[in-house]
Amino acid sequence: MHPILAQLRRLLLYLLGWIPLAGMLTYLLAVPGGLSWLEATTVALILCLLYAFVCLAAWYPCQATPLERSSLPRFLATHIAAAVVASAIWLLAARTLGRMLTGLEEFRGVDVRLSKDFPLLFGTGVLLYLLAVGFHYVLLAVEASREAEARVMQASVLAREAELRALKAQVNPHFLFNSLNSISALTASDPSKAREMCILLGDFLRRTLGLGEKPSIPLEEEMSLVHAFLAVEKIRYGARLRMEEIIDKEALDAQVPPLLLQPLVENAVGHGIANLVEGGWIRLTAQRCDGDLSIVVENLFDPEAPPRRRNGVGLANVRQRLEARYGDRASFGTNIEGQCFRVAIRLPAETKERAS
């Protein structure tokens, strides 16, 4: 679709641009052309209105002859040929117009007078068409840059979506390997417990897979995912892992991005509990306050523990996701107080009705 014909507003602006050109043509027809002012004005207005639409056709040769990829001979040949054709059509129209007008009292003999101006009209037609070519190239360039901008925007949105999808599908493989090793141990010593762990692990994996498609879930669902994760870890770590939850009932229906808390709890286990000989606690607090959802995950850790791999990757992911989704409306902070590591996040508390 032609960009100018696509919107009425653009078409009107374009035609407005032709008014000074019509003025110039009037002058040309009246002064050197020898027409009366009334004749010149009438003919110029009608011809310009007509030619405005003829010149719109320049869009197609312009599109077919992109500036940066066309040779100069081809470029010149295309546009000059088109200009001659357009101008010839214009002349034909002028002749027809002259014959029609000459029938009227005020315009008697205008066709003869106008035919003397045909060389002038032809030259003007070629020039006006070439002007339109230039105008259309500008239009093409603007359009191309706008498209490029849109493509970049779209690419970044797609990239972010892909990243989120990957994140959601991401289960720490070492959690899997270690859990499988625990199951392997239990098969000999306690087969029913081994079976239980298989089921717990399957339950956790199925939940994480199902979440990939959803943009957000109620906190309650995220908590049950956390519970499924902890149920597996509890078998690995036994009494070393102690979980405490202080969850405001009001907060349970707040929508959160899926896998928001699980990485935080996994981090608390991996970098906290796993490094403590006697184990320790993880405390999860969630409450609504002032229209926000406030979540705090605290855990005991050993400040002198050997440095671990993947340190902070899970946390960084959560922070980036909050940032990408809520911008300034969400916050993420960590702090260390003695042997307690704390992650505090705050995000707008949306419920399902408002979220959708």
Partner 1 sequence: MIREQNKKIRTIIVDDEDLARQVLREFLSAHPEIEIVAECANGFEAVKCAAELEPDLLFLDIQMPKLDGFEVLELIGADRAIIFVTAYDTFAIRAFEVHAVDYLLKPISAARFEAALDRARERLSGKLPSAPLVAMELAAAARPPSQYLDRIPVREGTSVFIIPVAKLDYAEAQDDYVALAAGGKKHLKQQTISSLEAALDPSRFLRIHRSYIVNLERVVKIEPYGKDTHVAVLTTGAQLPVSRAGHARLRAFLDR
Strands 241-247 and 280-289: parallel
- Residue carrying structure tokens 């405005």: 52
Q: Which stretch binds partner 1 (CB under 8 A): 92-100, 109-117, 242-250, 275-283?
A: 275-283
Q: Report the residue from 29, 186, 264, 347 that binds partner 1 according to the rule CB under 8 A.
A: 186
Instruction: Say if CB 21 and CB 128 are below 8 A apart.
Output: yes
Residue 322 lies near partner 1 (rule: CB under 8 A): no
Residue 289 lies near partner 1 (rule: CB under 8 A): no
**Residue 344 bridge partners (DSSP):** 296, 333
Q: Which residues, other chains included, contact 45 with Cβ-Cβ below 8 Å and sequence gap of 6+?
A: 22, 26
Residue 236 lies near partner 1 (rule: CB under 8 A): yes
Q: Which stretch binds partner 1 (CB under 8 A): 201-209, 215-223, 272-280, 289-297?
A: 272-280
Q: Report the residue from 28, 201, 274, 318 that binds partner 1 according to the rule CB under 8 A.
A: 274
Q: What is the nearest approach in angstroms of partner 1 to the Cβ of residue 304?
A: 6
Instruction: Say if CB 97 and CB 144 are below 8 A apart.
Output: no
The Cα 150–Cα 146 span in angstroms is: 6
Q: What is the nearest approach in angstroms of partner 1 to the Cβ of residue 277?
A: 5
- Full DSSP string of 298-350: EEE--TTSPP-TTTTHHHHHHHHHHHHHHGGG-EEEEEEETTEEEEEEEEE-B
Residue 237 lies near partner 1 (rule: CB under 8 A): yes
Nearer to partner 1, 115 or 178 (CB): 178
DSSP-derived letter for residue 258 is T
Q: What is the nearest approach in angstroms of partner 1 to the Cβ of residue 218?
A: 33
Query: Rg of the chain's alpha carbons, rounded to an integer?
Result: 38
Nearer to partner 1, 108 or 308 (CB): 308
Q: What is the nearest approach in angstroms of partner 1 to the Cβ of residue 136?
A: 56
Q: What is the nearest approach in angstroms of partner 1 to the Cβ of residue 273?
A: 9
Residue 182 lies near partner 1 (rule: CB under 8 A): yes
Q: Which residues, other chains included, contact 38 with Cβ-Cβ below 8 Å and sequence gap of 6+?
A: 106
Q: Report the residue from 36, 170, 178, 320 that binds partner 1 according to the rule CB under 8 A.
A: 178
- What does each C-alpha distance from 76 to 33, 67, 72, 89, 202 come to in angstroms? 30, 11, 6, 20, 70
Q: Report the residue from 67, 76, 159, 305 that binds partner 1 according to the rule CB under 8 A.
A: 305
Q: Report the residue from 302, 315, 339, 344 that binds partner 1 according to the rule CB under 8 A.
A: 302
As a whole number of angstroms, the longest Cα–Cα distance in the chain is 116
Q: What is the nearest approach in angstroms of partner 1 to the Cβ of residue 182?
A: 4
Residue 304 lies near partner 1 (rule: CB under 8 A): yes
Residue 185 lies near partner 1 (rule: CB under 8 A): yes
Residue 338 lies near partner 1 (rule: CB under 8 A): no
Q: What is the nearest approach in angstroms of partner 1 to the Cβ of residue 276?
A: 6
Nearer to partner 1, 258 or 280 (CB): 280
Residue 327 lies near partner 1 (rule: CB under 8 A): no
CA angle centred on 152, ends 151 and 153, rounded to 5°: 90
Query: Amino acid identity of 173?
Result: P
Tokens of 146: 């706008």
Residue numbers of the site for partner 1 (CB under 8 A)? 174, 177-178, 180-186, 188-189, 235-238, 274-277, 302, 304-309
